[in-house]
Structure 1
Amino acid sequence: MIKTVSNRLNNRQLLLLSDICLILVAMLWGSSYGAAKLSLQYYPVLGFLAIRFGLTSIILAPVLIGVYKQHTTQLKRTVAAGLPLGTILLAIFIFETYGLFYTSVANAAFLISLCIIMTPFMEWLILKTRPHKLVFICAILSLLGTYFLTMDAQHSAGISLNLGDSLILLAAVGRALMVTMTKKLIDNKSATIKMTIEIAQPISLLALTAVQSIVVFVGCLVLFLVTNLLSGDSIMPSLPNKSAFWLPTFYLVIFCTIFAFFVQNWAVKIGSPSRASLLMGSEPIFGVLFAVLLFNEYVGVLGWLGGGLITLASVLLVARGR
């Protein structure tokens, strides 16, 4: 449908449409924290993640089958990149979802955006690309914002990072690592040099998402079964029978995973990565708005100040590349 519409629009209209779509993605991802929080009231974290990514894997399975039938070499490259990236994604979602279980939706939405600040440093470490001077300024702003955001309600002089906040910070590190390793694995020139017989096919991003989803599903399912076995609980607790669990879960699968990644990939082709990052940098703001409106979470002056500094640092950083 989007492709059909694209053919009927000029470049300016197409760019405007892609911008609107990216803001929609930011809204969806911002709402994902609240949706996950709802589902976690009815099922354990690892079991919930296994269900979410199991459903995603089933829906995206035809994409992998199609790639296998048309381009075997492309599938090999996709799987080779998808296995390590899926492992990183598994760690991210475990940290992020457990963190969300122990902290507020608002804190999670703000703290996860620190990955935008961490990414240039991760590129410096892995890709040997030195960050711009502005990155260091943004890092200081983000650290100051984190300090304000995590100060306790009594306005104590020290930082009060709870378990959930710490896990969300680990998830932010994982996101930065994920972006960097994705670039390294997908743009790996050696992979193309080794293909002397067959013409190298670009990695299908949707197929890559499918492989990653399968890795996360299998990893969460195994961890879920093992932890239940060791704790003496039922190996596989009965699935929830309440719509309050399944509606948010299907929302996460359809809109916040499959649809959001598809739209993101399409929009980046129309515009630029920096433009896309800037527009999607509004994700934490939507996350906090949903937390306040739907969960009646209270965000004090210091919380808004801290979150605002983190968001400002993220916007300054990605705006530099425009």
Structure 2
Amino acid sequence: MKISRSLWADLLLIFVALIWGLSFTAVKDAIGIIPPMEFIGLRFMLSALVLGAIFFNRLKKMTRHELLAGCVIGLFLALGFLAQTIGLAYTTPGKSGFLTSLYIIIVPFLTSLFYKKFVGWMPIAAAVLAFVGVCLISLAGNDVLGFGQGDLLSILCAFAFALQILAVAHYVKRYNVYVLTVIQIVVTGIISLGYSFAFEPVTWVLPATVWLAMIYTGLMATCFAFLAQNFAQRHTSSSHAALLLGLEAPFSLLFSVIIWGEVLTARSIIGSSLIFAAILLVEVIPSFWQPAGERNTDTTAS
């Protein structure tokens, strides 16, 4: 049986979410040794060097419009990492994770706003269901939403990640996917290192654990993952991509249980089940919310 391109795109996005979920455990020790933005900057610059070498011939043919598009995507990506990391200094990790995950539900609404095309109630309902699942996984039992500086930065992070997904969807069908990927990674690395040099102490000697985490996150969680995301978004919608990439949360919990021995709670089990149910809602009943043949067209810019 021939597998459709849209199904391959879904599988790629799920695999990307798995890689990103595992990256939480990979960097757990690393960011305790060197400043967070220094690690992020070095990670993205390592990725840029590798991808730049692989796609050097394509980069030589890069147009001004492709450079600008990659910079826009990279700016949103860098803002997301900056806001998330700085926000963590002023709020709890659980609340930060909850607020950052707002991008899952922000994407379909921004899609409707930017493209003036209602995406349908079913994907919105699925995004809400996934959002509730992430909420149950991330929030502690007695958390109350009070918006301080860290909370507002985490919300900014969610909007930045949502805009990055939409920017990819906007440009990936017009320009070379490999050029866009390299440029956004370079921009993110430069902005992150620039912030680190300005506001963080510089670490001159990196231990082996940091190098291992950097190699994994640089090659798998950045090089492969962003190439796969950009390729997959050629064949699926931005709201659908956001939903599948939201599986990063349950995957991170799974690897935390396996590697770090975290004890599963009823809340985390229910939350993961809700996210899985949201995926089924989109995959099993697509004809209820989109006519046949339209699934891969809702990110086309006019």
State TM-score, norm by structure 1. Answer: 0.71
Structure-2 change in CA distance of 1:37 and 1:160 (3 Å)? farther
Deviation at 1:107, TM superposition (A): 7.8
Deviation at 1:186, TM superposition (A): 4.6
259-268 or 31-40, which deviates more: 259-268
Structure-2 change in CA distance of 1:32 and 1:163 (3 Å)? farther
The list of structure 1 runs, each at least 4 consecutive aligned residues, that deviate by more than 6 angstroms after superposition, is 13-19, 160-166
Name 2:109's counterpart in structure 1: 121
Name 2:204's counterpart in structure 1: 238
User: How far, CA to CA, are the matches of 2:151 and 2:162 in structure 1?
Assistant: 17
User: Does the residue aligned with 1:171 lie in a helix, a strand or coil?
Assistant: helix
Are residue 252 (structure 1) and residue 217 (structure 2) matched?
Answer: yes
Are residue 273 (structure 1) and residue 236 (structure 2) matched?
Answer: yes
Alignment partner of 1:48 out of 26, 39, 55: 39
**Which runs of 5 or more residues in structure 1 are unaligned?**
1-9, 188-201, 229-233
Deviation at 1:282, TM superposition (A): 3.6
163-172 or 258-267, which deviates more: 163-172
Deviation at 1:67, TM superposition (A): 2.2
Query: Which has the greater radius of gyration?
Result: 1
User: How far, CA to CA, are the matches of 2:4 and 2:110 in structure 1?
Assistant: 35
Amino acid paired to 1:80:
L
- Asked if the contact 1:64–1:75 (Cα under 8 Å) also holds between the matched residues in 2, the reply is no
Structure-2 change in CA distance of 1:18 and 1:317 (3 Å)? closer
1:149-191 deviations in whole A, cap 9, x for unaligned? 45534x47x447898776555433222111222333455xxxx
Amino acid paired to 2:43:
R
Are residue 176 (structure 1) and residue 176 (structure 2) matched?
Answer: no
- Asked if the contact 2:87–2:96 (Cα under 8 Å) also holds between the matched residues in 1, the reply is no
1:89-148 deviations in whole A, cap 9, x for unaligned? 10112234456777558984x765542322110112222222312244345535644554
Structure-2 change in CA distance of 1:95 and 1:295 (3 Å)? farther
User: How far, CA to CA, are the matches of 2:258 and 2:150 in structure 1?
Assistant: 21
User: How far, CA to CA, are the matches of 1:159 and 1:106 in structure 2?
Assistant: 8
Structure-2 change in CA distance of 1:169 and 1:30 (3 Å)? farther
User: Does the residue aligned with 1:238 lie in a helix, a strand or coil?
Assistant: coil
Structure-2 change in CA distance of 1:222 and 1:267 (3 Å)? closer
Name 1:82's counterpart in structure 2: 70
Are residue 300 (structure 1) and residue 265 (structure 2) matched?
Answer: yes
**Which runs of 5 or more residues in structure 2 are unaligned?**
296-302
Structure-2 change in CA distance of 1:50 and 1:306 (3 Å)? same
Structure-2 change in CA distance of 1:178 and 1:315 (3 Å)? farther
- Asked if the contact 1:93–1:171 (Cα under 8 Å) also holds between the matched residues in 2, the reply is yes
User: How far, CA to CA, are the matches of 2:269 and 2:148 in structure 1?
Assistant: 18
Structure-2 change in CA distance of 1:227 and 1:318 (3 Å)? farther
1:21-62 deviations in whole A, cap 9, x for unaligned? 554333212212222223211111111111111111211223
Structure-2 change in CA distance of 1:222 and 1:21 (3 Å)? closer
Are residue 35 (structure 1) and residue 26 (structure 2) matched?
Answer: yes
Name 2:195's counterpart in structure 1: 223
- Asked if the contact 2:71–2:184 (Cα under 8 Å) also holds between the matched residues in 1, the reply is yes
Name 2:299's counterpart in structure 1: none
User: Does the residue aligned with 1:297 lie in a helix, a strand or coil?
Assistant: coil
Are residue 67 (structure 1) and residue 58 (structure 2) matched?
Answer: yes
- Asked if the contact 1:117–1:317 (Cα under 8 Å) also holds between the matched residues in 2, the reply is no
RMSD after superposition: 3.8
User: How far, CA to CA, are the matches of 1:130 and 1:13 in structure 2?
Assistant: 25
Instruction: State the number of aligned residues.
Output: 284
Q: Pairwise mapping of residues 93-112 of structure 1 onto structure 2 (< 5 A)?
A: 93-98=81-86, 108=97
